Amino acid sequence: MTRSAALVAINCTCCGAGLDVLGGGRVEVHICPYCGSTLNAQDNYKLLGQHDRKRQTTTPIEIGMRCHLHGVDYTVIGLIEQYERWAGQSALWVDFQLYSPTHGYVWLTLENDHLTLSRRVRTSRMLTPAEVERAPAQPRLKFRGMWFKYYETSTSEAIYVAGEFSYRPQIADRVTTVTVVAARAALHFSRTGQEDEVEISTYVTPAEANDAFGTDLGLRPSGVHPEQPLRKGPNHDFLRRLWLCGAGLCLLLALLLSGGRGSTVLNTTYAVNDLPVEVPFAIATANQLVEIELSGPVNNSWADFDMEVTGPEDDPLFGIGRGIEYYTGSDKDGRWSEGNRTARVRFRPETPGTHALFLDLSEAGNWPATTPGTPIREVSLTVREGLTSGSWALRSGLFFVALFALMIARQVLHHARRWQGCDWTDED
């Protein structure tokens, strides 16, 4: 039986207050906000019962307000204030019943200034508190292509009701709801008496709500709601991919440039007894990286060399010391070795032409003293020009990695804050 569509207003059969009729023909009861009377909307508004009107609630959304949400016109026809107390903490929220002539009845829930829109879904899938309790791991389920993970089980009690409803809510009604959350939606499995209900909800941002109601509702949400998506700008995903590409390109460039060995301009070997020597080498291109490499067959011995390089005008460019050493042995863990038989110097000559390298042996010795190693007898000298360097490409790559990591960190932090209120614990 449905109510007459022509009915637009009634007087409360108990207190006589004027009440707008806003819901559709499926409204079951109309609860007077003034005297708390529950009137049967399907039977001439006969009195069914009366609630205590001591408690009043004030909300930014009121019965009778209209909104255009997600492309659908709704009217607020009723509200229920819910209360939950668990583990020494309490929570308070308001469920608004909305009605659309084309889309039926939905719920808009307001908690800590966070808004979510819920709609009943038809599904045989049900998740009960008992199933959650028995589950060996955090329950997950797939619905409409989305993976949902268990968030919480809550039992709420209605402490204030007013307006029109498609069922008969009463003060002190208790509902136990199991909530599972996905990236952009949540499912709520409720059992009231003999009836099971499943609803799917999505987050409504304050901007969307203000736009829908055509007014500033003054919502200032605190914290992060479990259904709240990360607030991303229109360029967020583009920039994240761009930083990743930039990092990849620069790191690849660093790898390629670090391997550039240039061309050899000098490769010779000297007996250490012939040192010091002055070795000329020709540099064809200025301002490119030149490498001087010393190597020698040291074994449990070391050798330190002094070098000075002069330019084409016999002008001193720099002096430097380099050492080569290599040690081996064995202990209870097996064989070991340390050191390097090669030492390198790199510089960038400002002018092309014939440069000169003065090379001298500064010191040499063996290790350990009781078992002499092989003293160095000769040293090989190689000069290369035109080397490339991946240093700046590596820095750029790391910079873009940092930018990318910042964006990911923001997502990770937001995810953690969304799941902060989850009541699942892994028991050993």
Partner 1 sequence: MTPIRLIALLFVATAVSASAYVGYWGYGGESRDLDRSVRIGSFGGGYSAYSRVK
Q: Which residues bind partner 1 (CB under 8 A)?
A: 234-235, 238-239, 242-243, 245-246, 249-250, 253-254, 257, 276, 287-289, 302, 304, 306-308, 310, 316-325, 339-340, 343-348, 358, 360, 362, 387-393, 395-396, 399-400
Q: Could you tell me the smallest distance in angstroms from the CB atom of residue 387 to partner 1?
A: 6
Q: Which is nearer to partner 1, 81 or 385 (CB)?
A: 385
Residue 357 Cβ vs partner 1, minimum distance, rounded to whole Å: 10
- Of the pair 245, 284, the CB lying nearest partner 1 is at 245
Q: How far is the CB of 337 from partner 1 (least distance, A)?
A: 15
Of 235, 363, 243, nearest to 303 by C-alpha is 363
Three-state DSSP state, 247: helix
| Alpha-carbon distance values, 43 to 1, 47, 48 (Å) | 9, 9, 10
Nearer to partner 1, 219 or 294 (CB): 294
Least separation in angstroms between residue 1's CB and partner 1 is 56
d(CA 374, CA 302): 9
Nearer to partner 1, 341 or 414 (CB): 341
Phi, psi angles (nearest 5°) of residue 172: 80, 5
Closest listed residue to residue 350, CA positions, set 382, 389, 309: 309
For partner 1, give the closer residue by CB, 180 or 254.
254
The least CB distance from residue 396 to partner 1, in Å, is: 5
Q: How far is the CB of 303 from partner 1 (least distance, A)?
A: 10
**Distance of alpha carbon 194 from alpha carbon 198, whole angstroms:** 14
Closest CA to 143 of 92, 189, 204: 189
Q: In angstroms, rounded to a whole number, what is the distance separating the alpha carbons of residues 11 and 24?
A: 18
* Minimum CB distance to partner 1 smaller for 203 or for 243: 243
Q: Residue 16: in which H helix or E strand, if any?
A: none
Give every CB contact of residue 274 below 8 A, 6+ residues apart in sequence. Answer: none
